[in-house]
Amino acid sequence: MNRLLLGITFVLLITNIAVGQLVRISNESNLELGRDKWQFMPGDDMKWADSAFNDKSWKKRSIETAIELNDTTWSKNQAWFRQSLYPGKSLRQKDLRLVVKQFGSSEIYLDGKLFATLKPARFDSGGSQRLIRFIPIHFSDTSRHTLAIRYQFRRDPIVQASTDISPLSIHFQEADQVGISLVDETQWPAILNGCFIGLCGVLALLHFLFYRANRKQPINRTLAWAMLFFALSAAMSELNDYVGTLTYVSLTDLLSDVSLHAGFILILTAVYQYLHLRRRWIYYGILAIVFLDQLYRTGIGSLLNEFGWIPLALVILDYIRVSWLGRKMKDVDARLPWNALKASLYCFLLIIVFGIITGIFESLRNNVIEYMLVVFVLLVAGAIISIPVGLSLSLVRDYTRTYKALGDNLREVEQLSARTLAQEQEKQHLLARQNELLEEQVQARTAELHQSLEELKATQDQLIQREKLASLGELTAGIAHEIQNPLNFVNNFAEVSVELVQEINEERAKPEGERDTELETDLLSDLGQNVQKISDHGKRAASIVRGMLQHSRASSGQKQPTDLNALINEYLRLAYQGLRAKDKSFNAHLTTHFAPNLPTINLVPEDIGRVLVNLFNNAFYAVQQKSQLESGFSPMVFVQTSQDGGQLVIQIRDNGTGIPDEVRQKVFQPFFTTKPPGQGTGLGLSLSYDIIAKGHGGLLSVDTKLGKFTKFTIKLPLE
């Protein structure tokens, strides 16, 4: 039985009744095998094949009743069916065929004799268990005949507990009608399923494309998956008639059921999304029922198979409820789901009417019946696909309306653009005449501004040079004070070395017996140590002079690997000694915390040195000013280096006067200074900011609190 139609509840019942009527109309034989007239007995006993056996105590059962695998009646997987036949006179000597469709194997006995053995060729090796046979049969009399069927099947592993199989379908038919009847029974369901699969596949593709074009409408994604699940369910239903073993049958059953349930839930979800309704407990309750129904089918079985239509019926009822809510909305588009539902209901009514008419006029000719069957199939297809197609057409209508609105807006924009262009051309004409007048005035003023600019540049260059000279002067004083120490050491050790040389010469002037060799060795050793210390302090003085020369000349602008800790330590001491050279009374506590193993960094040492000198001088100036204002104040300057990821960080902090908030925002502006006139040019921090930010791609920032501290932070990137 078609699994997809089983899932669509009462539509299927009507479909099966009407199709059954049409098939029986095409059967012109007056020898009927009643489906419900069979005597049934589970088990196996060869005496049941005897025509004289009394089977009155057997149960009445349709031979086409599906075998539920958890039914204890079929615990042994075999049973017998018996029925009495009374062929009419018109059937004598006719060329008849016994058409048998079965799942498994069977032995057919006519009047106690083995008439046919039907067994799949690969039954015992796990091959196909499904077959169809056309067995020739002739009746030479009209007396009573007994047809007994010994049926059995193999129970393979299954993946869904509710899987069942239709054991047998058996009837008589004239030989020339067998092929036609087989085609009639298979072509229309195949056509319906094929059209349904194709339509669902096309709709799924379109909705996926719509969703890809506009991801703000999730309903397209929902409908795309719904159509895919419906197509998969129909495909599995069609495939179910061709697979062989129970394992494959149960697998197609599982995929068909899951796809059908998912498709129905997604269709219900889509109508909620289309109408922008909030999903409440009714929706989630139905979702839970459908989910539990599928779990029940998969894990337990089909004990409640007669109620299997309830979950999907609840989905349809909620769809009708939500569509009715949309119908009551003021929005015209909200009525589209209800209109699609009405179209489906009209098709259902026509199916019922058509089935009744077909049942009444069973004597119509076969060609008329075929045309009626075509109409019937079209009605069934229309009833099934009206709802999803209605939702799809609703979305297409939305896109059409949106496209039309965009077209109208585009035309309005074009008209406005044309109007704006004309106005713009008129404005351009007026502006052109005004520009001619302004150009003459601008040329005259440009000459004046050019002269003023040249004067300003000259003044600016003088101020910059003054700032550099001031920095150089401070460094020079510091270097002079700093170089005094190594020179004192050189002079002192040189004098001592001269005395040591005199003592050595005096000792050598003594006779051989009076000379003290050990004393000569000690004197020579002391002389060597003095010479080494003279060399060390001379190198120290030379490095100070070299640093002074490097600072005094213009920067080369070329970056080179530099030890940042050494560079900072060098300029800190030079700046401090320079200030002490000008003010002998100034003292400050210098605290350094240099990060060990700091990597070398590519920078321009001369430029960074100028930045450090400016910042150190500002720190010394701040603590010097505060020491003049507060008695007992202890000036402190703290310098720290560290590494923060891909940056080297320098922090220079003092406990001086701090910077007011209204001034802090201006400290990096050119020519702005807080020092008294004649003591600062206002270019130190500005040049420092340009060197750090523009020259080295770093960051120079300030943090301060008035009367407490000032901290400058330099961040230089590692290249």
Structural domains in the chain plus CATH codes: 31-155 (2.60.120.260), 185-399 (1.20.1070), 558-717 (3.30.565.10)
pLDDT exceeds cutoff 60 at 483: yes
Q: In the predicted model, what is the mean pLDDT of the chain?
A: 76
Q: Quick one: tokens of 681?
A: 């040019």
pLDDT digits (tens, 9 = 90+) for 26-51: 333 445 565 567 889 998 889 998 88
Query: How large is the average pLDDT for residues 465-474?
Result: 58
* CA angle (247 as vertex; 245, 250 as ends), nearest 5: 110
The answer on pLDDT for 141 being more than 80 is no
Q: Which of 7-11, 384-388, 551-555 has the lowest mean pLDDT?
A: 7-11
Distance CA 277, CA 486 (A): 89
Query: Worst-scoring range by mean pLDDT, 256-260, 325-329, 642-646?
Result: 325-329
Q: What pLDDT is attached to residue 460?
A: 64
Report the distance separating Cα 60 and Cα 104, nearest Å. 22
Residue 179, judged by CB atoms within 10 A of its CB (0-12, 13-18, 19+), counts as exposed
**pLDDT band for position 625 (50/70/90)?**
confident
**Rounded average pLDDT over 388-413:** 71
Summarize pLDDT for 190-231 with one digit per residue, the tens: 777 777 788 788 878 887 887 887 787 787 888 888 888 888
- The answer to whether 27 and 173 are in contact (CB under 8 A) is yes
Place 8 in a pLDDT band, splitting at 50, 70 and 90. Answer: very low
* CB atoms inside a 10 Å sphere around CB 107: 18
Q: What is the DSSP letter of 160?
A: -
When pLDDT is averaged across residues 512-527 and rounded to a whole number, the result is 73
User: Residue 651 carries which side chain, given as an amino acid letter?
Assistant: Q
Q: What's the mean pLDDT in 420-435?
A: 82
Model pLDDT, residue 351 = 63
Under 8 Å CB-to-CB from 404, ≥6 apart: which residues? Answer: none
As a whole number, mean pLDDT of residues 541-562 equals: 63
Q: What is the pLDDT of residue 149?
A: 92
Eight-class DSSP state of 139: B
Closest CA to 166 of 60, 63, 12: 63
Please tell me the pTM assigned to this model.
Answer: 0.50
647/174: higher pLDDT:
647
pLDDT of residue 341: 66
pLDDT score, position 333: 63
Q: Give the pLDDT of residue 671.
A: 61
Q: Which of 8-22, 80-94, 265-279, 434-448 has the lowest mean pLDDT?
A: 8-22
Q: Given a cut of 80, is residue 153 above it in pLDDT? A: yes
* pLDDT for 382 beyond 60: no
Looking at mean pLDDT, say which of 171-180, 204-213, 533-542, 693-702 comes out highest: 693-702
Which of 434-443, 546-555, 585-594 shows the lowest per-residue confidence on average (mean pLDDT)? Answer: 546-555
CA dihedral 475, 479, 481, 482 (to 10 degrees): 130
Whether the per-residue pLDDT at 130 is higher than 60: the answer is yes
What integer is the mean pLDDT of 239-257? 82
pLDDT at 57 over 80: yes
> pLDDT > 90: what percent of the chain?
6
Residue 28, pLDDT score: 37
At 10, the pLDDT band (50, 70, 90 cuts) reads very low
Q: Using alpha carbons only, give the angle 581, 585, 586 rounded to the nearest 5 degrees.
A: 75
